[in-house]
Structure 1
């Protein structure tokens, strides 16, 4: 008799959110369910040998066994883990060593199988031998009724890593292939709740509005609007050919399909609900709040009213009539950026610092000489700046532009190309008026950045110009006029207000680019295809699966929720962010230029001119801005990840040939390139023929899913929770002198500023969502951590991972020391807000620190 321990969680609370829109807009719903069967008599297990095969090359399997009714961990409500004993009849001589097991569920309800362990004396020659002679099976999977599965059972493998082919025990090879086939499916039919099928589809599920014109809300994915792929749900398409040719999926009424094991855990679901309730003051019904705010003035009456959102005695007071007899106050936690100083955000120093230590620190680049080249008059596609050297030098303290170029001291935050193609459409939207901005900055002697000028550009205008002299041409010709204006720094009077407004237009560009591109596209959207391909082509036995799988946790689910409530037609993004219904289309235009290898942090820094290769400098790079918090902290994290990946890969691949002959690995990478990111398959991708290409690619994937996402996500509320610091909308252009609007600005600068940026209702919605998205759940697993020490049975891999964990702990100490170094002025800035977002670990909640393993929120 072989004794085992089975750990599972019964279904007491449905671990999915029933409707994503309810999460952020219309309340919350958690569905309960009860267990009706005796689990000890309704679930059956069979051990499978990994060393003995039958005549048909399938592994030998043993007799059925049931759970013993003596749980060593008392059952409790709320989905707690239970541990059961189990005993298998097993003839070691005839059957060999167990390497997998079947489980068959006869209950109506599913249960979550956490793990199984066997007390089994392994032979001394077994390379994966555990010192305690225990075989671990890490499952972490929902097991539904046997009728839901084609094979009527589920198979789980032990924690031994094997490359495919001859390195996999012969007795397990067919099971390995069949399980991958089950996960791939056949690409047809509508997916059911219990399905575990991973397949690809375009973004044809974002919906549309009745007011849409022909080209509004296009399907994303394909030649015209390239996009990463998402998980296929198989929902039926609309029959209306007038709506994108009838190729839209029908909107989801309730739960949108994700493969069953991609659902949030109970802890995370609970945290989501608590975050939402806390954001909405617990008792406030979101629908009533929405009604109340829409029926009251939607403008803030001065900066003090904005401040009251966070004050202990302030908040938005809701009338008794909307809250069923009790007065409620809607308030939010004080954002980090104003905790030490209420007005530091208004300074030029903080404005510039947030470009390298804020929530969007990876867009600023080195200014090039060609950026200042004269604009070609007749070229409507030319996007060169109209700024002049003379205007830049006004605030450069005697340094000339030529000297600054030679010493690489000029930088630019450039949003011209991203916004100009859509700016005319954006400015035709109700209450949307914006510019495409360029901000020019100078690196001072103390290592901080100083803004020199802001260029505000509007869409070009076409005018007919008569030829001169007249005899040259018989008729007028078209001339393209690019209306733009340059605003210079000022801190007093009317010019000071104009400068503050100009900075607001820059931040509106930055906020929208951050949310749509840096955050959503460059982390959430691009990671989903890697997750899909990994599950479809890499067996759970594959060492690269074991390396990458933790970095996909919750990504597919959070993306599905986003498609239901945040980025879909008429969603929160479209209601509260500048581009409105053009938001996702804008992200598609930027995706056209996305290159996988450029996502490596060193490559990105070099491409933006923020670093040059230098073997004498730390990490082999010399930074142009020495005190660049995102880059300094990020490079240490990057190097730690790369070292860990390299040492892990070297355990399993002795040479390049082993990589090239790995059939699963080659199928995985081919699918990533040709299907998951198929719209960009003609871009330069690693060929996946060498160990180095494998190491580099895995490092980039882990970096995107962990540190890059942390850097652009968990600062959203700490910086953007104060809407004056990071407005999401601009609703007015700069007032012209001698106009009514200009006179109003002179009379009341605060009111002019507030009437220009995000209004009250949209602010409340933005803050509610940002607080949720910036908070860590209680079950988060951080970089350098795994959910169990038994994630692999290979002790060498565990040892390498332990070294990685220790390295990250050392980096955490270094980051804290840098934040306490008064000479590094960009670490805290005028707001006295230290850059902690890349500290690897965190407590739950709103902490502005912590690097989760994956894009999980």
Structure 2
């Protein structure tokens, strides 16, 4: 058949879809019971009779030139001899379809309705029409759908061709449909959301729950003046009043609602469940053993920790009930693949601050960070406060003076004082927590590596039951005797601060939580026809879903994070306190580096920034990625906005940004946000969003198991303070340093839970889409945009080669360090699994 059969006026199309699998339905007992014979009938629904398509014109026809809304064609149905039975595995199926359509009478198709009258939903991948037109590619009109079509859409779902239009440039015939579809996605802000809904709206974090032991301030609702927080997707579940603190909390549910198209793909969902099941299989026998008191929760030396990766730890009980005991074994983390003890070196301790899993906190030391004061007057007979001095730092500075090093940009600090100190009183009253707020001072050596100078450990100063101020001790490097053990313990306390700040702030708050409002606002205000929607949408893939899963089990009251991380029930409240000072524009990598004093503006060097630490792997690789993203965004935006007036006249863009600021992040000062009145602001904003969702998240996520999978290197808890001379703990530390270390950090059960979660979070799925890729070549019909994107892809390939070459340069000691593990996390592409490389387009895990 020809492309357009003139006599009978038929247009041929190809529909690609995925039917819901038989396995998916049968594994849902509630659905099986609740729908009875209707569900059984759905197994044999004839999709060729129960699904209809109707084309919609995007142009006025010759005989009706003043038409406002595009004409709607007649119903058409799928045609071929494919089986009407669903498959065990969800696979793509292709169907032919023929539309009765006269070009002269109807114009050019620009959208279509699809109506599903089957008993179940299906996933519509695409529709391609054999229809030559100058506005599309040479022979076809593409409709990229990638959406679930539910069985209650009696009026039909609408999909648009993949040609981008600004609101005012939209064909008149499609404007009504464009506006109606956006309104459908917004909803009316009322009612409980059901599984098949596609409604995006905002709500506070009132779905994390409470515990029976909660007091007045425990587990508050996050979002509002007292506990500011980004917003999440509204579910509309019933609110329950909490008498302990007066908050209104959502009732618990088996599954958190996400708009239907935000669900994981079949492939990713299957892999996620399988890996989660494997992880749970490790936890259950250990938990049961501890419950039956057949094993201890303390590690018996470093060797037992090592056995978790090499050979496995035999447990005295089997979860399956057979005679074979369970074996506790994890993949070998990269940090100990080459050496079992290199992680203990001062060089590696410092290197991970710029090339580890959390390289985004270290900053340049300022003069005001160093306080030289006379000794405190005694407050009582308890241990007295202290503070670091220039003299203490200069002991290890190779005869260089502090004032000189400050001017030369040679001194740095890893500072967790402000984040932890306000909560240490509460934290240290928890049953097993003993923590400090830490400051680590470092010196940049001539070979480009960092040298730890001293660690300041601070906590509220208590005399009896009265808090009298801050008590601080300063620990300096040592390599022998009890002093070396104290130094290792001090470093462990620093890493506990770092690990918790990383998970709560650098990872969860600054990427997952911060980006969700942008995803919500984009769906509510930017039509799928909008070029900025097409630019940003790939960078929100799976984010709303993974965040909902996190709220269900990871960050919920009494959940995994509270059970195994230091702050316990105060974890999310701590992240709220830090969010008060979150500034969107500071998330741009160049701005972040300048704010932390890690770089200064210098037009004579590449990227216009001069790094104070030239061999700063995260910053060096990150700036190349940042600039590639920005160049791509600049080229793309220039295709649609000729000047600043075009930005200001875009009502959808205006509404989008207004919602981001006023509804998505309403607890922050509106004045801190860009005004979104210029193309430059639009470019910088879109670049920052893409950076957060892709490279920043990759940098702080996919190194979690490679570095944190060895609990000695990245403990999540501290259970002892530095022992004081004359105590039993001090004596134990002197005689059995390994036992003292292990009793200070995360114990066995919490370690197994932590490692199971880190393994899951660090794993790429097989269907991941990486930066510089799209899930379809037909993501846009704009050929100029495709050419610009191809250039972006090629630039990322070159960056990947450059990073690999730098990792071979032995003069760049921070690239691999003592553990001989190259910094590859910002290589754009990856294979499936734990690879310590690959930048997914979005926060998808």
Calculate the TM-score normalised by the size of structure 1. 0.92
- SS of 1:796's partner is helix
Q: CA deviation at 1:246?
A: 5.1
Q: Which residue of 1 aligns with 2:711?
A: 723
Q: Which residue of 2 aligns with 1:44?
A: 52
Q: 1:293 to 1:461 in 2, by over 3 A?
A: closer
Q: Aligned partners of 2:745, 2:237: CA distance in 1, in Å?
A: 39
What CA deviation, in whole Å up to 9, does each residue of 1:551-600 have, x standing for no partner? 00000000000000000100000000000000000000000000000000
What CA deviation, in whole Å up to 9, does each residue of 1:502-548 have, x standing for no partner? 00000000000000000000000000000000000000000000000
- SS of 1:62's partner is coil
Q: Which residue of 2 aligns with 1:352?
A: 350
2:16 paired residue among 7, 23, 28: 7
Q: Aligned partners of 2:307, 2:746: CA distance in 1, in Å?
A: 16
Q: 1:479 to 1:459 in 2, by over 3 A?
A: closer
Deviates more, 1:538-547 or 1:742-751: 742-751
1:193 paired residue among 192, 195, 206: 195
Decide whether the 8 Å contact of 1:463 with 1:480 is kept in 2: no
Q: Aligned partners of 2:27, 2:823: CA distance in 1, in Å?
A: 37
Q: 1:479 to 1:783 in 2, by over 3 A?
A: closer
Q: CA deviation at 1:315?
A: 3.0
What CA deviation, in whole Å up to 9, does each residue of 1:265-320 have, x standing for no partner? 0011111122224435xxx3754442224432100000000000000x23343524
Decide whether the 8 Å contact of 1:819 with 1:827 is kept in 2: yes
Q: 1:17 to 1:707 in 2, by over 3 A?
A: farther
Q: Aligned partners of 1:540, 1:721: CA distance in 2, in Å?
A: 41
Calculate the TM-score normalised by the size of structure 2. 0.93
Q: Which residue of 1 aligns with 2:229?
A: 227
Q: Which residue of 2 aligns with 1:139?
A: 145
What CA deviation, in whole Å up to 9, does each residue of 1:778-821 have, x standing for no partner? 11000000000000000000000000000000000000000000
Q: 1:712 to 1:351 in 2, by over 3 A?
A: same
Q: CA deviation at 1:386?
A: 1.5
Q: CA deviation at 1:256?
A: 1.0
Q: Aligned partners of 1:13, 1:655: CA distance in 2, in Å?
A: 53
Decide whether the 8 Å contact of 1:11 with 1:34 is kept in 2: no
Decide whether the 8 Å contact of 2:282 with 2:328 is kept in 1: no
- SS of 1:458's partner is strand
Q: CA deviation at 1:121?
A: 1.9
Q: Aligned partners of 1:396, 1:15: CA distance in 2, in Å?
A: 63
- SS of 1:789's partner is coil
Q: 1:558 to 1:726 in 2, by over 3 A?
A: same
Q: CA deviation at 1:230?
A: 0.1
Tell whether 2:458 aligns with 1:457. yes
Q: Aligned partners of 2:316, 2:781: CA distance in 1, in Å?
A: 57
Q: Structure 2: give runs of 5+ residues left out of the alignment.
A: 1-9, 29-38, 380-384
Decide whether the 8 Å contact of 2:314 with 2:327 is kept in 1: yes
Q: CA deviation at 1:71?
A: 4.3
Deviates more, 1:321-330 or 1:401-410: 321-330
2:749 paired residue among 761, 769, 777: 761
Decide whether the 8 Å contact of 1:359 with 1:711 is kept in 2: yes
What CA deviation, in whole Å up to 9, does each residue of 1:308-348 have, x standing for no partner? 0000x233435247543433312100000000010000000
Q: 1:538-557, aligned counterparts within 5 Å? A: 538-557=526-545
Decide whether the 8 Å contact of 1:463 with 1:481 is kept in 2: no
Q: Which residue of 1 aligns with 2:32?
A: none
Q: Which residue of 2 aligns with 1:432?
A: 433
1:178 paired residue among 175, 180, 184: 180
Tell whether 2:99 aligns with 1:97. no
Q: 1:815 to 1:32 in 2, by over 3 A?
A: farther
Decide whether the 8 Å contact of 2:184 with 2:199 is kept in 1: yes
Decide whether the 8 Å contact of 2:511 with 2:843 is kept in 1: yes
Q: 1:32 to 1:396 in 2, by over 3 A?
A: farther
What CA deviation, in whole Å up to 9, does each residue of 1:202-222 have, x standing for no partner? 000000000000110000000
Q: Which residue of 1 aligns with 2:408?
A: 407
Q: Aligned partners of 1:74, 1:551: CA distance in 2, in Å?
A: 35
Decide whether the 8 Å contact of 2:57 with 2:72 is kept in 1: yes
Q: Aligned partners of 1:685, 1:111: CA distance in 2, in Å?
A: 40
Q: Which residue of 1 aligns with 2:300?
A: 301
Q: 1:13 to 1:367 in 2, by over 3 A?
A: farther
Q: Aligned partners of 1:274, 1:32: CA distance in 2, in Å?
A: 27
Q: Which residue of 2 aligns with 1:207?
A: 209
Q: 1:262-281, aligned counterparts within 5 Å? A: 262-280=262-280
Q: Which residue of 1 aligns with 2:3?
A: none
Q: 1:400 to 1:324 in 2, by over 3 A?
A: same
- SS of 1:575's partner is helix
- SS of 1:516's partner is helix
2:164 paired residue among 144, 154, 161: 161
Q: Aligned partners of 1:447, 1:788: CA distance in 2, in Å?
A: 44
Q: Aligned partners of 1:796, 1:385: CA distance in 2, in Å?
A: 63
- SS of 1:60's partner is coil
Q: 1:593 to 1:793 in 2, by over 3 A?
A: same
Tell whether 2:628 aligns with 1:622. no
Q: Which residue of 2 aligns with 1:130?
A: 137
Q: CA deviation at 1:398?
A: 1.1
Q: Tell me the number of residue pairs that the alignment of Structure 1 and Structure 2 aligns.
A: 814
Q: CA deviation at 1:69?
A: 2.5
Decide whether the 8 Å contact of 1:713 with 1:774 is kept in 2: yes
Decide whether the 8 Å contact of 2:17 with 2:93 is kept in 1: yes
Question: What is the root-mean-square deviation of aligned Cα atoms in Å?
Answer: 2.2
Q: 1:500 to 1:661 in 2, by over 3 A?
A: same
Q: 1:635-646, aligned counterparts within 5 Å? A: 635-646=623-634
Q: Aligned partners of 2:688, 2:373: CA distance in 1, in Å?
A: 38
Q: Which residue of 2 aligns with 1:152?
A: 155
Q: Aligned partners of 2:267, 2:464: CA distance in 1, in Å?
A: 62
Q: Aligned partners of 2:614, 2:762: CA distance in 1, in Å?
A: 28
Q: 1:561 to 1:655 in 2, by over 3 A?
A: same
Q: CA deviation at 1:491?
A: 1.2
Q: Aligned partners of 1:73, 1:522: CA distance in 2, in Å?
A: 47
Q: 1:260-659, aligned counterparts within 5 Å? A: 260-280=260-280, 284=281, 286-294=283-291, 295=293, 296-311=295-310, 313-320=311-318, 323-374=321-372, 386-461=387-462, 480-659=468-647
- SS of 2:57's partner is strand
2:698 paired residue among 704, 710, 715: 710
Q: CA deviation at 1:56?
A: 7.0
- SS of 1:450's partner is strand
Q: Aligned partners of 1:582, 1:604: CA distance in 2, in Å?
A: 27
What CA deviation, in whole Å up to 9, does each residue of 1:390-420 have, x standing for no partner? 1101111111111111211000000000000
Q: Aligned partners of 2:521, 2:81: CA distance in 1, in Å?
A: 41
Tell whether 2:238 aligns with 1:236. yes
Q: CA deviation at 1:747?
A: 1.3
Decide whether the 8 Å contact of 1:69 with 1:84 is kept in 2: yes
Q: Structure 1: give runs of 5+ residues left out of the alignment.
A: 20-30, 465-477
Deviates more, 1:558-567 or 1:386-395: 386-395
Decide whether the 8 Å contact of 1:14 with 1:33 is kept in 2: no
- SS of 1:83's partner is strand
Decide whether the 8 Å contact of 1:292 with 1:322 is kept in 2: no
- SS of 1:129's partner is coil
Q: Which residue of 2 aligns with 1:88?
A: 99
Q: CA deviation at 1:650?
A: 0.2
Q: Which residue of 2 aligns with 1:27?
A: none
Q: Aligned partners of 1:38, 1:213: CA distance in 2, in Å?
A: 57
1:68 paired residue among 79, 103, 110: 79
Q: Aligned partners of 1:71, 1:801: CA distance in 2, in Å?
A: 37
Decide whether the 8 Å contact of 2:411 with 2:443 is kept in 1: yes
Q: Aligned partners of 2:527, 2:161: CA distance in 1, in Å?
A: 12
- SS of 1:573's partner is helix
